[in-house]
């Protein structure tokens, strides 16, 4: 059985994960609109991952006899200055999610909730991977610049990302 504070915090995290999904779906749409199908694919795969993250939380709350309470999802931005802008925003957002996950772990420790601490370790590890991926793409975008064949090479690389 989940303590009330843990249940509320996990429900808040579901909302954050669904916002993440919504943000990446918006970035995918924008990438398609500007003709970068590889970027669109990368963000679509990211969208699906974020929904999976939300569902892990959803199922965990139910498994622990808690109650899932869904709230409104904030509208994400729909316009972006460039592919680099999208990935810089992605990294900033993932850093926000990392802090949120770390805060959840801290709460689970404070509440002496060992099961939730163990459950959240998957998310801690996942966030390390998320930020590293974003930083790698940002480095490549800065290296090749915003225009030209380098951007198309990165786009071609990103189209290969699978779920």
Cα of 48 vs its chain's centroid, Å: 9
Which among 76, 48, 66, 59 is positioned nearest to 163, based on CA atoms?
48
Name every residue whose Cβ is closer than 8 Å to that of residue 27 and which is 6 or more positions away in sequence.
39, 43, 46, 80, 86, 89, 90
Q: What is the pLDDT along the chain (163 residues), one digit of tens a residue?
A: 899 999 999 999 999 999 999 999 999 999 999 999 999 999 999 999 999 999 999 999 999 999 999 999 999 999 999 999 999 999 999 999 999 999 999 999 999 999 999 999 999 999 999 999 999 999 999 999 877 889 999 999 999 888 8
Domains present along the chain, CATH in parentheses: 4-158 (1.20.1260.10)
User: Directed axis angle between helix 4-33 and helix 37-63, to 10°?
Assistant: 160
pTM (predicted TM-score):
0.95
């Amino acid at each position: 059985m989940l303590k009330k504070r843990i249940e509320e915090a996990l429900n808040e995290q579901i909302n954050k994960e669904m916002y993440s999904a919504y943000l990446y779906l918006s970035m995918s749409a924008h990438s398609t609109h500007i003709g970068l199908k590889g970027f669109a694919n990368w963000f679509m795969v990211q969208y699906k991952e974020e929904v999976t993250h939300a569902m892990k939380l959803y199922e965990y709350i139910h498994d622990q006899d808690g109650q899932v309470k869904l709230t409104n999802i904030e509208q994400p931005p729909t316009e972006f200055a460039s592919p680099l802008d999208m990935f810089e925003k992605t990294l900033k957002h993932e850093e926000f999610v990392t802090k949120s996950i770390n805060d959840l772990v801290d709460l689970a420790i404070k509440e002496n909730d060992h099961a939730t601490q163990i459950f959240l370790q998957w998310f801690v590890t996942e966030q390390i991977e998320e930020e590293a991926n974003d930083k790698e793409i940002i480095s490549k975008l800065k290296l090749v610049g915003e225009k030209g064949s380098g951007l198309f090479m990165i786009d071609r690389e990103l189209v290969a990302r699978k779920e």
